[in-house]
Structure 1
């Protein structure tokens, strides 16, 4: 994992999780407590509610990215920039200031006049954005989005057959598309990646967000720090049946899980509570790393063969061996004696270790490939073991 220096703030595995508080100077933004059009009021909010509550980074948005609103032009964003610049001049607390924009012209002006980093929600749709950020030597958050200045985040609506290949597009699922969108137009040396949670397009679904969150560790294969913006998002509210104002508890639960799964920056409107939840997640995160004067050794954060395949592919290594190298242990309860004997016999044919833990329990230990072969055998068999094979296959996904 390549750490990023954001104006002196370290972001990466060897640093604590960083909290990005949000300030909006856009009247369209949906979350009223963070919206200001007066620089004095905005500065007080930043000092008291963001930096005072533990924010390391303050992200200032000039417009709402909500799909219900028209996209501002670069000139319109520049017209609003003066409020953001006056705000950071009045802030007395210490934080890194990030400008949220999709335009290189706006980023260049903001960075030249006091901002420290960029949050690009259009994934380098402006081809000059990487150059501007590199020239200023600043960190930049790149959200997963096809290069489209008009509508960020619509990965499902992208012509991946033309942009990537017909073969790839026919097999890619939503998370594959998000992963590929992050790679479009490259990455700078100080890029932080954002998998793009939220309703950025009509095509994006709650299930897509849930699957992205479930597979969050896969994005570590890109070797860059990860930012997540999940605060009060719909996919969490849907799980708990809560509206936006009542979603803080589910947001905090997800924050701890996100940090344990690899997130380094959490973007939030609820700074103090989110900071505590992130620290809990960090305290129970196990990523072994040893550094000496001569070398460093780190263990890949890999929990499945799919995650290993992502790491191998990004390193130019044939991923076909991932199933042979990853091991699984599967416990089966409830089989009667005859069925346990049958499953054990089948498993032994595929180099899978079998243990009868007790009267009603069976433990299978083997490579992902071996367990997959057992699953296929059980699914091909007639009778009551077919369902067991299908259950194995579901766990292998």
Structure 2
């Protein structure tokens, strides 16, 4: 999704045009010509320090956007960025194909307009306030906000990255990005707008002008984590980064039987992600024995090293027998460990590639988070070091 702004107050100058002819040339050459599938037209700046335009003021600017659309020769989906259903209705009636609602249906008439026109609409997580788009900080609150006022059959979800409120921190955005897969729990396409955002720039200490590389790195990661649409001012480079992310995302099974039974492997890496999908299908309260279904969706593998004989014995006992938690412990071959250390030294190293301290043993502990926690409880008191390590694992979270 390439960006065109027809608002002189927009913060990123290269995308700002108020002359329809110049704007059309920019769209044809820099957006569609560089690979944009969607052209998103903003009528006002997202700068939270500026006054919010009224619907009437946005409608006054719509003529420039429509003239630009009519003057371009390239083929793309045209999106109008607005919070008002009146503007969306007028824009769609005059040729726009979709809506980018930065207030997340705070205007309750927006879903109706989009349904009546049968167009896609991007819904950005926001409080129910037309003057406070994106003003939500906590990732769980962002997730819940996307369900407010419902969705249409063609709704795309946007978790609202960026400094939309003074209270939102870079850490808030980073946590949302870290947990981006959770938003797939809605079963809807995701739109991610992270181009040159400050929560990325500050990681590498870059200015807006220098921030393209960090944006591209995050773009690949976002696509790999499930983003379907990337909103950007740098179309050609972002397209390449998105293609790389898509190429290296793990292939997941999807198939359908002849009688209509279908299966799709979900991209679930944490218990919270599994909980989102369970909630989506109305099975969030399901239980499996003493462990929740969400917990059993995730299996972790930990390599333990420096284990003494009592620790090895305790781990074996805790993972054996019919009443043991759903975890496994596999002890490494000491001869293999010695040969690896010797080979490392022969290659000019000092054996540092092997983490196990001298005299210690290595093994793999495999299980769900709950099962690993149960093993921790079963072996408690055998070894202070093992207690500390397994306690850290439990605190690491899901």
Query: Shared fold (TM-score greater than 0.5)?
Result: yes
Q: CA offset at residue 351 of structure 1?
A: 3.8
Q: CA offset at residue 112 of structure 1?
A: 0.4
Q: Secondary structure at the match of 1:329?
A: strand
* Residue in 2 that maps onto 1:355: 330
Q: Secondary structure at the match of 1:369?
A: helix
Please list the CA deviations of residues 331-378 of structure 1 after superposition, one character each: whole Å capped at 9, or x if unmatched.
Answer: 223445544444444455534210012444221112232113234567
Question: Aligned pair in 2 of structure 1 residues 57, 154: CA closer, same or farther (>3 Å)?
Answer: same
Q: CA offset at residue 61 of structure 1?
A: 0.2
Name the CA distance, whole Å, in 1 between partners of 2:127 and 2:20: 33
Please list the CA deviations of residues 271-295 of structure 1 after superposition, one character each: whole Å capped at 9, or x if unmatched.
Answer: 0011111111111222321245543
* Residue in 2 that maps onto 1:371: 372
The TM-score with structure 1 as length reference comes to 0.86
The TM-score with structure 2 as length reference comes to 0.86
Give the one of 282, 287, 304 matched to 2:270.
304
Question: Aligned pair in 2 of structure 1 residues 136, 375: CA closer, same or farther (>3 Å)?
Answer: farther
* Residue in 2 that maps onto 1:313: 279
* Residue in 2 that maps onto 1:29: 10
Question: Aligned pair in 2 of structure 1 residues 310, 375: CA closer, same or farther (>3 Å)?
Answer: farther
Give the gaps of 5 or more residues in structure 1: 1-19, 157-173
* Residue in 1 that maps onto 2:212: 248
Question: Aligned pair in 2 of structure 1 residues 337, 98: CA closer, same or farther (>3 Å)?
Answer: same
Q: CA offset at residue 206 of structure 1?
A: 0.9
Pairing 1:288–2:253 present? yes
Pairing 1:194–2:175 present? no
Mean Cα deviation higher: 324-333 or 58-67:
324-333
Mean Cα deviation higher: 93-102 or 145-154:
145-154
* Residue in 2 that maps onto 1:396: 397
Question: Aligned pair in 2 of structure 1 residues 355, 53: CA closer, same or farther (>3 Å)?
Answer: same
Pairing 1:41–2:22 present? yes
Assess if the C-alpha contact under 8 Å between 2:295 and 2:369 holds in 1: yes
Pairing 1:122–2:103 present? yes
Q: CA offset at residue 261 of structure 1?
A: 0.7
RMSD: 1.9
Structure number with higher relative contact order (C-alpha < 8 Å, ≥ 6 residues apart): 1
Q: Secondary structure at the match of 2:128?
A: coil
Question: Aligned pair in 2 of structure 1 residues 331, 85: CA closer, same or farther (>3 Å)?
Answer: same
Question: Aligned pair in 2 of structure 1 residues 373, 228: CA closer, same or farther (>3 Å)?
Answer: same
Larger radius of gyration: 2
Assess if the C-alpha contact under 8 Å between 1:379 and 1:387 holds in 2: no
Assess if the C-alpha contact under 8 Å between 2:78 and 2:96 holds in 1: yes
Assess if the C-alpha contact under 8 Å between 2:191 and 2:231 holds in 1: yes
Pairing 1:182–2:146 present? yes
Question: Aligned pair in 2 of structure 1 residues 312, 45: CA closer, same or farther (>3 Å)?
Answer: same
Q: Secondary structure at the match of 2:61?
A: helix
Mapping for residues 87-236 of structure 1, pairs under 5 Å: 87-156=68-137, 174-236=138-200
Name the CA distance, whole Å, in 1 between partners of 2:27 and 2:281: 41
Name the CA distance, whole Å, in 2 between partners of 1:390 and 1:121: 43
Pairing 1:333–2:302 present? no
Q: How many residues align?
A: 361
